């Protein structure tokens, strides 16, 4: 049957050889089949009834055959005319039903019911459900009306009325109608099943593509983790040693040079953070920390480095802090907040040749447990055209094509700012026009740290000499740096070069906490933590372990592996203080 149908529908198939939509192909072929068999039935009627002098039936069949032939020709030469052709075809079917019932047969016979079914079927299959319902109502109305007026239904041939179709035309017509209905049903069913098969094949391809995408994402994450570690590790040494030298109270000339070195290293770190954090935020891996810090002191430290850079361009740099914020301690993510300020402040300095940059903090609302602070960075630089206000927040985009060549940068800064602010539940506002500078502003609600906790967080004179720490770090310079940073806090730590030595030292000694690098030889940080957590000694197995890492993509993995906390490289003293305070608080609770 399939081969026979292929030959019958070959002209229609050729007309749609470039069409991939199975349903459209089936609609087209169904219309073609109905028209083709209507022509065949018309020719049969003419051949049978012409010798019997049924003039009305001959005229009726001849006109129908000519119209159907014209519709077939139009359908094959212009497939896009399917819908109007279908309307004409179905309209003629309705006319045949009506005239058969009320003018010729004078009763509802088998052929009338067949035409009724074909019109309903064609309406739904070719033109869709809405049009199909309309044709169904129009076609069934005469049937219902005729029955309501007392008409009868018959399925046998009655030759007593000259107006009825003569035999064997009646029987042949009924048989071909059944064939037409069966073929149309078959074609639509095949289209339905082919569509299901295509979707199953597409789903299989999609599953394969998803697996490949997941592998690619895992590779990308691993690459970013490695890149983060390799890039940040040397920076950790540069920034940390610079910080230690500044704290040693150098001469004024040396201090200025060290500040320049520190700011340059921070600029490089900010650039690396932007590239790595962009991928991290994009994959929804970034979460905000909750660290206690004094907001005004934090902003002064951030702006000190930016002021040096601004002064080198002979620009005035002003930090204007609301007096209400002077002694305010807040709980938030200082790392992400510093990224916001470095990106916005760095842009302001970069795009300003003359004038000033003003960083302003204003307390817009204050309650017992929350302070809402508005940050604004205003410059007197080149400004941004209103048409570019949206574009500059897109990744790898700057306001003008020559901006990168003239001023440098990746075009990621503002995209990162926008995404980080979304984590804070805030958004960035811009007021700027060419030649009139720019003002970027945003508002962040901060949780206020209670007075008791503030006193605990004031670590300027904190005594950590009683802490017993184990530090596992494979990089010689970073190990030396960590040793010096801890010595400044009166902590004599035990330092080892890999995870295996860290595990053995933990087994043989008692420590309050371990600072564990993640990427080390012999045993890495994850493997070492796993071995420690499985120790029989509960005190040793539950020791407080901080992941000491340069990676920006491993927060979830760190906690899942059994770490209690993490400390990013490069480590600044404020963050180190906060982590040590957690260790002290835990030690006090245990005793």
Same domain for 41 and 173, yes or no, is yes
Which residues fall within 8 angstroms of residue 280, CB to CB, at 6 or more apart? Answer: 224, 286, 552, 553
Same domain for 424 and 296, yes or no, is yes
Q: Which two tokens stand for residue 219?
A: 């590779």
Residue whose token pair is 């005594």: 463
Decide which of 207, 229, 257 is a domain's last residue. Answer: 207
Same domain for 321 and 397, yes or no, is yes
Same domain for 426 and 488, yes or no, is no
Range of the domain at 338: 287-457
**In which band, very low, low, confident or very high, does the pLDDT at 452 lie, cut at 50, 70 and 90?**
very low
Least confident of 342-351, 392-401, 520-529: 392-401
Same domain for 171 and 304, yes or no, is no
- Residue 362, classified by CB atoms within 10 Å of its CB into exposed (0-12), middle (13-18) or buried (19+), is middle
Query: Given a cut of 70, is residue 46 above it in pLDDT?
Result: yes
Helix or strand holding residue 37 (H, E)? helix 22-49
Residue 467 located in a structural domain: yes
The string of pLDDT tens digits covering residues 373-385 is 999 999 998 888 7
Counting Cα atoms < 13 Å in the Cβ hemisphere of 69 gives 11
Q: How far apart are CA 370 and CA 447, in angstroms?
A: 5
Same domain for 33 and 181, yes or no, is yes
Q: What is the helix, strand, coil percentage profile of the chain, to 5?
A: 60, 15, 25
**In which band, very low, low, confident or very high, does the pLDDT at 53 lie, cut at 50, 70 and 90?**
confident
The secondary structure of residue 157, as a DSSP letter, is -
Residue whose token pair is 């000499």: 465
Considering only residues 194 and 530, tell me which one the structure prediction assigns the higher pLDDT: 530
The string of pLDDT tens digits covering residues 87-112 is 898 888 888 888 777 776 677 778 77
Residue 221 located in a structural domain: no
Q: How far apart are CA 218 and CA 228, in angstroms?
A: 15
Are the CB atoms for 549 and 567 separated by under 8 Å? yes
| CATH number of 584's domain | 3.40.50.2300
Same domain for 396 and 537, yes or no, is no
Q: How far apart are CA 200 and CA 207, in angstroms?
A: 10
Q: How far apart are CA 146 and CA 136, in angstroms?
A: 16
Most confident segment among 30-34, 102-106, 206-210? 206-210
- Residue 273, classified by CB atoms within 10 Å of its CB into exposed (0-12), middle (13-18) or buried (19+), is buried
Same domain for 508 and 439, yes or no, is no
User: What local confidence, expressed as pLDDT, does residue 377 receive?
Assistant: 94
Query: Given a cut of 70, is residue 229 above it in pLDDT?
Result: no
Mean pLDDT of 337-366: 90
Q: Is 436 helix (H, G, I), strand (E, B) or coil?
A: coil
In angstroms, what CA-CA distances link 496 with 241, 314, 520?
20, 47, 11
* Mean pLDDT taken over the chain: 80
**In which band, very low, low, confident or very high, does the pLDDT at 242 lie, cut at 50, 70 and 90?**
confident
Q: Is 516 helix (H, G, I), strand (E, B) or coil?
A: strand
Query: Given a cut of 50, is residue 159 above it in pLDDT?
Result: no
Same domain for 96 and 130, yes or no, is yes
Query: Given a cut of 60, is residue 72 above it in pLDDT?
Result: yes
User: What local confidence, expressed as pLDDT, does residue 157 receive?
Assistant: 44
Give the chain's domain count.
Answer: 3
Counting Cα atoms < 13 Å in the Cβ hemisphere of 112 gives 29
- Residue 432, classified by CB atoms within 10 Å of its CB into exposed (0-12), middle (13-18) or buried (19+), is buried
Query: Given a cut of 60, is residue 78 above it in pLDDT?
Result: yes
Mean pLDDT of 324-348: 86
CA-wise closest residue to 228 among 281, 279, 285 = 279
Considering only residues 218 and 210, tell me which one the structure prediction assigns the higher pLDDT: 210
Same domain for 292 and 373, yes or no, is yes
Residue 503 located in a structural domain: yes
Same domain for 321 and 307, yes or no, is yes
Give Cα 580 to chain centroid, integer Å: 38
Query: Given a cut of 80, is residue 286 above it in pLDDT?
Result: no
Residue 277 located in a structural domain: no
Same domain for 452 and 465, yes or no, is no
Cα dihedral across residues 414, 416, 419, 425: positive or negative? negative
Residue 231 located in a structural domain: no
Query: Given a cut of 80, is residue 310 above it in pLDDT?
Result: yes
Decide which of 207, 240, 266 is a domain's last residue. Answer: 207
Residue 239 located in a structural domain: no
Least confident of 288-292, 401-405, 466-470: 401-405
Residue 496 located in a structural domain: yes
The string of pLDDT tens digits covering residues 259-268 is 777 767 777 7
User: What local confidence, expressed as pLDDT, does residue 398 receive?
Assistant: 46
The residues with which 2 forms a beta bridge, in sequence order, are none
Residue 244 located in a structural domain: no
| CATH number of 422's domain | 3.30.565.10
Pairing mode, if any, of strands 370-379 and 356-366?
antiparallel
User: DSSP letter string over 82-116?
Assistant: HHHHHHHHHHHHHHHHHHIIIIISSSB-HHHHHHH
Q: How far apart are CA 549 and CA 570, in angstroms?
A: 9
Decide which of 436, 457, 478 is a domain's last residue. Answer: 457
Most confident segment among 10-14, 15-19, 71-75? 71-75
């Amino acid at each position: 049957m399939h081969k026979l149908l292929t030959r019958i529908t070959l002209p229609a198939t050729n007309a749609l050889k470039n069409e991939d939509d199975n349903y459209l192909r089936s609609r087209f072929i169904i219309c073609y089949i109905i028209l083709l068999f209507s022509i065949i039935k018309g020719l049969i009627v003419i051949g049978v009834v012409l010798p019997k002098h049924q003039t009305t039936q001959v005229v009726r069949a001849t006109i129908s055959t000519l119209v159907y032939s014209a519709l077939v020709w139009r359908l094959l030469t212009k497939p896009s005319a399917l819908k109007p052709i279908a309307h004409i075809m179905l309209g003629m079917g309705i006319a045949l039903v009506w005239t058969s019932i009320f003018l010729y047969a004078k009763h509802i016979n088998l052929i009338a019911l067949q035409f009724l079914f074909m019109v309903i079927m064609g309406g739904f299959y070719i033109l869709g459900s809405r049009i199909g319902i309309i044709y169904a109502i129009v076609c069934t109305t005469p049937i219902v009306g005729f029955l309501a007026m007392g008409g009868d239904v018959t399925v046998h041939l009655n030759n007593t009325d000259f107006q009825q179709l003569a035999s064997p035309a009646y029987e042949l017509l009924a048989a071909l109608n059944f064939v037409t209905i069966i073929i149309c049903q078959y074609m639509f069913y095949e289209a339905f099943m082919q569509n299901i098969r295509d979707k199953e094949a597409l789903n299989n391809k999609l599953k394969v593509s998803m697996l490949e995408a997941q592998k690619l994402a895992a590779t990308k994450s691993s690459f970013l983790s490695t890149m983060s570690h390799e890039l940040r590790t040397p920076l950790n040494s540069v920034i940390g040693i610079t910080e230690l030298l500044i704290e040693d109270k150098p001469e004024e000339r040396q201090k200025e040079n060290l500040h320049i070195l520190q700011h340059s290293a921070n600029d490089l770190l900010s650039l690396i953070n932007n590239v790595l954090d962009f991928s991290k935020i994009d994959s929804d891996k970034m979460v905000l920390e909750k660290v206690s810090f004094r907001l005004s002191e934090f902003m002064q430290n951030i702006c000190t480095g930016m002021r040096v850079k601004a002064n080198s361009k002979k620009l005035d740099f002003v930090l204007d802090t609301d007096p209400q914020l002077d002694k305010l301690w807040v709980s938030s993510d200082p790392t992400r907040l510093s990224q916001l300020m470095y990106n916005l402040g760095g842009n302001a300095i970069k795009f300003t040749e003359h004038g000033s940059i003003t960083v302003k903090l204003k307390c817009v609302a204050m309650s017992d447990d929350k302070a809402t602070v508005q940050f604004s960075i205003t410059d007197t630089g080149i400004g941004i055209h209103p048409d570019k206000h949206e574009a500059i927040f897109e990744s790898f985009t700057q306001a003008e094509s020559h901006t990168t060549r003239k001023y440098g940068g990746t075009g990621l800064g503002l995209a990162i700012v926008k995404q980080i602010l979304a984590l804070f539940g805030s958004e960035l506002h811009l007021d700027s026009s060419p030649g009139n500078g720019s003002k970027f502003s945003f508002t962040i609600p901060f949780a206020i740290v209670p007075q008791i906790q503030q006193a605990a967080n004031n670590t300027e004179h904190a005594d950590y000499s009683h802490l017993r720490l184990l530090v596992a770090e494979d990089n010689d310079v970073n190990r030396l740096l960590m040793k010096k940073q801890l010595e400044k806090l009166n902590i004599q730590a035990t330092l080892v070069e890999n995870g295996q030595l860290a595990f053995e030292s933990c087994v043989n000694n008692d420590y309050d906490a371990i600072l564990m690098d993640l990427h080390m030889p012999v045993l890495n940080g994850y493997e070492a933590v796993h071995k420690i957590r499985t120790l029989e000694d509960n005190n040793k197995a539950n020791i407080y372990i901080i992941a000491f890492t340069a990676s920006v993509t491993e927060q979830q993995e760190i906690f899942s592996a059994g770490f209690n906390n993490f400390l990013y490289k490069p480590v600044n003293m404020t963050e180190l203080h906060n982590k040590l305070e957690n260790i002290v608080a835990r030690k006090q609770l245990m005793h």
